[in-house]
């Protein structure tokens, strides 16, 4: 009952494609923040893989920090209310910040986080996401770095879970129907 790639009905992005794309985004970030202090903030828990690979693709010093947030109530994100489960350790006053997540779905998480971190007096706040679902977007989110736009399908792997499974798959894909039944 391990996490198996055979539970995927279709592989959308292979491990190599993901690493290559993150390398391109890292090159953009290096160029944009050349000579500047930079903190990248990973959104627990889904962003763990992206943070690890993006940070190592960056050929420069970068501070890595983390936040954990959760929607209020019964897990519904439509309330628009987010609470902080784990705050930053770093003081980002006057510093350049890039928030890193693996997917933007409705946009609630990153819309809220951007405004929350923006209120702390940083030099700048930008977003880097590996995936984005334009059709699912409910909040305006200004994203500076995006790996790929994808259709509004349920995807797992590389940090993305289905009921807390499949986060540790190397590839990203869609789940086979037998998994749901």
Rounded Cα distance between 152 and 125, Å, is 27
Spatial strand order of the sheet with 124-132 comes to 82-86, 63-71, 38-44, 96-104, 124-132, 145-149
Shortest spacing between CB 154 and ligand PRP, in angstroms: 12
What is the CB-side half-sphere exposure of residue 73 using CA atoms within 13 A? Answer: 7
Shortest spacing between CB 108 and ligand PRP, in angstroms: 4
- Residue 105 interacts with which of ligand PRP, Mg ion, none, CB < 5 to 8 Å by class: ligand PRP
Scored b (16 or more CB within 10 A) or e, 96-133 reads: bbbbbbbbbbbbbbbbbbbebbeeeebeebbbbbbbbb
**46 contributes a contact to Mg ion by CB under 5 A:** yes
Question: Which residue is at the shortest CB distance from Mg ion?
Answer: 46
Which sequence positions are flagged as catalytic?
105
**159 contributes a contact to Mg ion by CB under 5 A:** no
Binding site for ligand PRP (CB under 6 A): 43, 45-46, 77, 101-109, 161
Q: Which is nearer to Mg ion, 81 or 176 (CB)?
A: 81
Q: Which is nearer to ligand PRP, 77 or 95 (CB)?
A: 77
Q: Which stretch binds Mg ion (CB under 5 A): 46-54, 85-93, 111-119, 173-181?
A: 46-54
- Nearest CA-CA partner of 25 in 56, 47, 64, 61: 56
Q: Which is nearer to ligand PRP, 27 or 85 (CB)?
A: 85
Shortest spacing between CB 98 and Mg ion, in angstroms: 16
Secondary structure letter of residue 7 according to DSSP: G
Secondary structure letter of residue 19 according to DSSP: H
SS3 state at 86: strand
**107 contributes a contact to Mg ion by CB under 5 A:** no
Shortest spacing between CB 156 and ligand PRP, in angstroms: 10
- Residue 107 interacts with which of ligand PRP, Mg ion, none, CB < 5 to 8 Å by class: ligand PRP
Which residue ranges make up the site for Mg ion (CB under 5 A)?
43, 46
């Amino acid at each position: 009952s391990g996490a198996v790639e055979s539970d995927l009905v279709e592989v959308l992005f292979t491990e190599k494609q993901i690493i290559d794309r993150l390398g391109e985004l890292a090159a953009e970030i290096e160029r944009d923040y050349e000579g500047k202090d930079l903190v990248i903030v990973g959104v627990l828990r889904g962003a763990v893989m992206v943070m690890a690979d993006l940070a190592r693709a960056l050929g420069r010093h970068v501070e890595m920090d983390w936040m954990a947030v959760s929607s209020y109530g019964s897990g519904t994100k439509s309330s628009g209310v987010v609470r902080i489960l784990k705050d930053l350790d770093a003081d980002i006053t006057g510093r350049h910040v890039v928030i890193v997540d693996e997917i933007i779905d409705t946009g609630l998480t990153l819309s809220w986080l951007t405004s929350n971190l923006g209120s702390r007096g940083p030099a700048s706040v930008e977003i880097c996401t590996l995936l984005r679902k334009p059709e699912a977007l409910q909040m305006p989110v200004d994203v500076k770095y995006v790996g790929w736009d994808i259709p509004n399908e349920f995807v797992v792997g590389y940090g993305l879970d289905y009921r807390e499974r499949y986060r540790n798959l190397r590839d990203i894909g869609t789940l086979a129907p037998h998994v749901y039944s």
